Amino acid sequence: PPNAFILYRQAKQPAIVAASMIISNNEVSKKVGNMWHKESLEVKIKFQLLADIAKLEHMQKYSEYKYQPRRPHEKKRR
Q: How far apart are the first and last CA of the chain?
A: 27
- Going from the N-terminus, what domains does the chain have, and what CATH number goes with each? 4-74 (1.10.30.10)
At 8-55, the pLDDT tens digits run 999 999 999 999 878 999 999 999 999 999 999 999 999 999 999 999
**CA neighbours closer than 13 Å in the CB half-sphere of residue 54:** 14
Residue 67 pLDDT: 84
pLDDT at 64 over 70: yes
Helices (H) and strands (E) in the chain, counts: 3, 0
